[in-house]
């Protein structure tokens, strides 16, 4: 039996509430809604960070970014650090049997030895070194053999170009398994709609770029069918974090960059593979983008390296058979600090922001316990009503902090001065 092809479509700053299948009503997403109806939708899926660089590091490696020195904020054009070249990544795990490509945004280091992405197991790369609101900016191509090719960026046609390159790579490798990470730049600002798409959107420019993504998802799925690859290809759709200036967090609190709240981490997730994944499945199983690496390895029949401690878990049982989550808890980080822990029912928040201050709520005797089953918007702390739960969650936070936070000392990240942390005026 052929190992599955895998295409991950990663939107940039797309909110949980932007898709119709997740409750959105303003932006029209018929193709993604149909993809959900034909596959599996996870309602409790988390990005592994609330901003771009650490979330992408988590997705690609199956490990929290703190293990790689990338937990602090977002890489800027002047930065020289990046994902360590020895990091185990999805294409490295899938191995040479898979043709692999990164198409779109990288944002895990743009100076050698962290550049180009072909150093991390990808056979081909076409895309941007970092976010398209940063400068200097160019589009690059690399195949691991020839020189790095640079060309100007046509912002209005980036989404179209990235989907076209995805189709071309699938066509070129139709006779062998392939893995494609299609890392879109939309709907991150600046918002530059394709001039050929003139239908407009009730959600303005943001809606236009999301609806262009949706149209291209439809075209991609149709083309996979025409190539006879539909049943052999697992297509997953998600976002790197919650929405930024525009977009909807759905019923959840806050948005991108929020220290601990659901709106910054809870993101859409849809997976579709006709004949393999059961159509029309909706699951509330706890899951994270850390889980993609071990899940794809399991579905490809590949053993994980025994000398690497992965934070993600294999979701194949959830996707294929509707099994419960392999997670007892999900840990949420704000930079290199544990900000919250989520279990199936409960959420315990220990960090948030007041203005620009990163507040350690425990310092003020005010950690917050939320019952997400009754209060998904995290509006009422109920620790006084459930003291035994609060104690259990407090212990979970302490264990997570003891396990992960010391790892940050192995690196030298930029941190806020002590006088600006935990001291509101």
Write out the catalytic residue numbers: 52, 107
DSSP-assigned letters across all residues of 212-225: HHHHHHHHHHHHHH
d(CA 224, CA 170): 8
- How far CA 287 is from CA of 156, 253, 315, 320, 343, in Å, comes to 33, 19, 8, 14, 11
Contact 125, 141 (CB under 8 A): yes
d(CA 51, CA 47): 9
Q: In sequence order, which residues have a C-beta less than 8 Å from that of residue 203 and are 6 or more positions away?
A: 26, 27, 210, 246
- How far CA 143 is from CA of 16, 109, 258, in Å, comes to 34, 17, 37
Phi and psi at residue 408, to the nearest 5°: -65, -25
Place of tokens 């076209």: 164
- How far CA 324 is from CA of 234, 235, 317, 344, 405, in Å, comes to 20, 21, 8, 10, 29
- 331-349 b/e with 16+ CB inside 10 Å = b? bbbbbbbbbbbbbbebbbb
Q: Is the peptide bond before 138 cis (omega within 30 degrees of 0)?
A: no
Strand pairing class (45-46; 330-334): unpaired
For residue 181 the two structure tokens come to 């990470």
């Amino acid at each position: 039996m052929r190992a599955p092809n895998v295409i991950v479509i990663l939107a940039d700053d797309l909110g949980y509430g932007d898709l119709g299948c997740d409750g959105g009503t303003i932006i029209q997403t018929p193709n993604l809604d149909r993809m959900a109806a034909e596959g599996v939708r996870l309602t409790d899926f988390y990005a592994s960070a609330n901003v771009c660089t650490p979330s992408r590091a988590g997705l690609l490696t199956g490990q929290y970014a703190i293990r790689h020195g990338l937990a602090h904020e977002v890489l800027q054009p002047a930065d020289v650090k990046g994902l360590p070249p020895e990091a185990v990544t999805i294409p490295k795990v899938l191995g040479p049997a898979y043709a692999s490509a990164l198409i779109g945004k990288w944002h895990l280091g743009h100076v050698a030895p962290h550049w180009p992405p072909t150093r991390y197991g990808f056979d081909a790369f076409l895309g941007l070194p970092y976010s398209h609101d940063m400068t200097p900016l160019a589009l690059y191509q690399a195949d691991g053999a020839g020189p790095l090719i640079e060309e100007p960026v046509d912002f209005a046609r980036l989404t179209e170009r990235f989907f076209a390159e995805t189709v071309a790579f699938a066509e070129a490798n139709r006779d062998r398994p392939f893995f494609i990470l299609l890392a879109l730049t939309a709907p991150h600002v600046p918002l530059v709609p394709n001039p050929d798409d003139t239908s407009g959107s009730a959600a303005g420019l943001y809606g236009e770029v999301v609806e262009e993504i949706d149209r291209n998802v439809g075209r991609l799925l149709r083309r996979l069918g025409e190539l006879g690859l539909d049943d052999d290809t697992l297509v997953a759709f998600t976002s790197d974090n919650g929405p930024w200036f525009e977009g909807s967090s759905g019923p959840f609190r806050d948005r991108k960059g929020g220290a601990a709240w659901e709106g910054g981490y809870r993101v859409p997730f849809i997976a579709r593979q006709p004949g393999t994944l059961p159509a029309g499945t909706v699951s509330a199983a706890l899951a994270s983008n850390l889980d993609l690496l071990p899940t794809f390895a399991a579905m490809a029949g590949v053993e994980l390296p025994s000398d690497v401690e992965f934070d993600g878990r294999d979701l194949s049982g959830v996707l294929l058979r509707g099994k419960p989550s392999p997670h007892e808890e999900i840990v949420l980080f704000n930079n290199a600090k544990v900000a919250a822990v989520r279990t199936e029912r409960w959420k315990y928040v220990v960090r948030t922001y007041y203005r620009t201050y990163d507040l350690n709520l425990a310092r003020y005797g005010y950690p917050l316990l939320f019952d997400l089953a009754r209060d998904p918007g995290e509006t009422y702390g109920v620790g006084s009503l459930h003291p035994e739960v609060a104690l259990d969650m407090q212990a979970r936070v302490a264990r997570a902090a003891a396990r992960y936070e010391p790892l940050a000392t192995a690196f030298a990240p930029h941190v806020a001065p002590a006088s600006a942390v935990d001291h509101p005026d």
